[in-house]
């Protein structure tokens, strides 16, 4: 599974100069800092969830490189269709950390006003489409958006993320077929993290890989080391350039590993071997990029300490702000559906507001404020 993958930087930090992307030292450092921020987001949010301060969280430890490296390639007007494990892509697209934390808290600052499950990030300013919990629904949406861009003669692309479990759904195959037939400028990024909750990849498909499935739909499929951020960047860049040039879609299978639980409600020790986890821990994407940066003279312990201190302070400020924020107003149940609210919905809103006001002093569970 982990052999014969395209990679530039190995687990021990050795790298192939022939394939190194032309990224500046500042870009490489920023890329590394984003990986660290995603890892620290996991650590903080899981602690907050265990403390009962947030209700739910979906970690992505071990998968940071494929999120950051792929999103790094995109331009402002491109579109991203994430699953629920892409905070790194959201950060790269410009979604502020405090916005991500607000979504997890589901408070009045949250742009979705608490209507979505935590870790289901969306941001219109970043062209980052809010995902749904059902597996693979975002894939046909991405293809439709890409086809629309193609019809309008735009040079933009759609990048869609999904797990290996999503490749067993009808949505995946329908979307792949449409993308191939209509030459959609869409990049399919399969995060093959070996587990669809508790189902191992070996039970997901009889095919040796996900990438080979692209052949049936008439476009390119590639398998890469999803823990090598430079390999992810390079492969996605090639796919994006082809899509912009009218050469159609690409399926990228980024082979990685979900180091933690599927979500804060999951206990992975019940279905997978600890030895497997430890083996993948040796391939940590953050450690790998750190070794590469050190070899390039771009990393030292002092810089790392300052970086983590800065990120920690950013987290502390974001969490403090979110915990002081009020819950979404009760009126938010009725807003953001119509440009002009119909009379009957307005009438219901006014009645609900009146009842909520009446019960406010009673701390009514029926009408929380």
Instruction: Give per-residue pLDDT as tens, 116-172.
Output: 999 999 999 999 999 999 999 999 999 999 999 999 999 999 999 999 999 999 999
Residue 243 domain flag: yes
**Based on the domain organization, do 338 and 226 belong to the same domain?**
no
Residues 6+ apart with CB under 8 A from 79: 127, 129, 142, 145, 146, 149, 156, 157, 158, 159
**Based on the domain organization, do 237 and 353 belong to the same domain?**
no
**Based on the domain organization, do 292 and 336 belong to the same domain?**
no
By the 10 Å C-beta count (0-12 exposed, 13-18 middle, 19+ buried), 76 is classed as: exposed
**Based on the domain organization, do 21 and 73 belong to the same domain?**
yes
Residue 2 domain flag: no
**Cα(269)–Cα(351) distance, integer angstroms:** 49
Residue 7 domain flag: no
Instruction: List residues with catalytic annotation.
Output: 258, 262, 271
**Based on the domain organization, do 320 and 335 belong to the same domain?**
no
Which domain covers residue 337, as residue numbers? 330-362
Check residue 361 and give its pLDDT: 54
Q: Is 115 helix (H, G, I), strand (E, B) or coil?
A: coil
Residue 297 sits in a domain of what CATH number?
3.40.50.970
Cα 172 vs. chain centroid, distance in angstroms?
A: 18
Mean pLDDT by 10 residues, the chain (369 residues): 89 96 98 98 98 97 98 98 98 97 96 94 97 96 97 96 98 98 98 97 96 98 98 98 98 98 97 97 98 98 98 98 95 92 96 84 45
Check residue 357 and give its pLDDT: 81
The DSSP code sequence of 330-364 is GGGGTSSS-SS--HHHHHHHHHHHHHHHHHGGGT-
Q: Please indicate, yes or no, whether the overall pTM of this predicted structure exceeds 0.75.
A: yes
pLDDT digits (tens, 9 = 90+) for 303-316: 999 999 999 999 99
Residue 34 domain flag: yes
By the 10 Å C-beta count (0-12 exposed, 13-18 middle, 19+ buried), 208 is classed as: exposed
**Based on the domain organization, do 351 and 228 belong to the same domain?**
no
Q: Of 133, 99, 141, whose CA–CA distance to 117 is shortest? A: 133
- Where b means 16+ CB within 10 Å and e means fewer, 107-134 reads bebbbbbbebbbbbbbbeebbbbbbeee
Percent of the chain with pLDDT over 70: 96
**Based on the domain organization, do 111 and 32 belong to the same domain?**
yes
**Based on the domain organization, do 133 and 243 belong to the same domain?**
yes
Residues 6+ apart with CB under 8 A from 195: 201, 258, 262, 268, 272
Residue 304 domain flag: yes
**Based on the domain organization, do 272 and 346 belong to the same domain?**
no
In DSSP terms, 255 is beta-bridged to 192, 225
Check residue 356 and give its pLDDT: 87
Residue 38 domain flag: yes
**Based on the domain organization, do 212 and 356 belong to the same domain?**
no
Split into its structural domains, the chain has a count of: 2
Residue 6 domain flag: no
**Based on the domain organization, do 200 and 86 belong to the same domain?**
yes
Residue 133 domain flag: yes
**Based on the domain organization, do 214 and 351 belong to the same domain?**
no
Q: What is the four-CA torsion angle of 286, 287, 292, 295, rounded to 10 degrees?
A: 140
Check residue 369 and give its pLDDT: 40
**Cα(214)–Cα(119) distance, integer angstroms:** 29
């Amino acid at each position: 599974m982990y052999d014969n993958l395209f990679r530039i930087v190995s687990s021990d930090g050795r790298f192939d100069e022939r394939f190194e992307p032309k990224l500046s030292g500042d870009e490489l450092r920023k890329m590394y800092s984003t990986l660290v921020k995603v890892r620290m987001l996991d650590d903080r949010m899981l602690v907050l969830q265990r403390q009962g301060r947030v209700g739910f969280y979906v970690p992505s430890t071990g998968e940071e490189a494929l999120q950051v490296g792929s999103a790094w390639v995109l331009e402002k007007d491109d579109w991203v269709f994430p699953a629920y494990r892409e905070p790194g892509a959201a950060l790269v697209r410009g979604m502020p950390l405090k916005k991500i934390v607000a979504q997890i808290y589901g408070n009045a600052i949250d742009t979705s006003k608490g209507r979505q499950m935590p870790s289901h990030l969306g941001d219109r300013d970043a062209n980052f489409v809010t995902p749904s919990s059902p597996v693979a629904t975002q894939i046909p949406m991405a293809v439709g958006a890409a086809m629309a861009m193609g019809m309008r003669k735009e040079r933009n692309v759609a990048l869609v993320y999904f797990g290996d479990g999503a490749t067993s759904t009808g949505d995946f195959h329908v979307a792949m077929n449409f993308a191939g037939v209509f030459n959609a400028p869409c990049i399919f990024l399969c995060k093959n993290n070996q587990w669809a909750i508790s189902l191992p990849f070996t039970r997901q498909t009889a095919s040796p890989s996900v990438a080979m499935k692209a052949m049936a739909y008439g476009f390119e499929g590639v398998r890469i080391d999803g823990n090598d951020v430079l390999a992810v960047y390079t492969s996605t860049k090639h796919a994006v350039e082809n899509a912009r040039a009218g050469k159609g879609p690409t399926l990228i299978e980024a082979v990685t590993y979900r180091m933690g639980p599927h979500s804060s409600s999951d206990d992975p020790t019940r279905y997978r071997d600890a030895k497997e986890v430890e083996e993948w821990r040796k391939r940590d994407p953050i450690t790998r990029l750190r070794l590469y940066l050190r070899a390039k003279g771009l990393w030292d312990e002092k810089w790392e300490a300052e970086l983590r201190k800065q990120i920690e302070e950013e987290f502390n400020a974001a969490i403090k702000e979110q915990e002081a924020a009020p819950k979404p107003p009760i009126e938010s149940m009725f807003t953001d559906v119509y440009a002009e609210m119909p009379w009957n919905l307005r009438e219901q809103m006014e009645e609900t507001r009146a009842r909520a006001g009446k019960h406010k002093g009673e701390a009514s569970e029926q009408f929380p404020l």
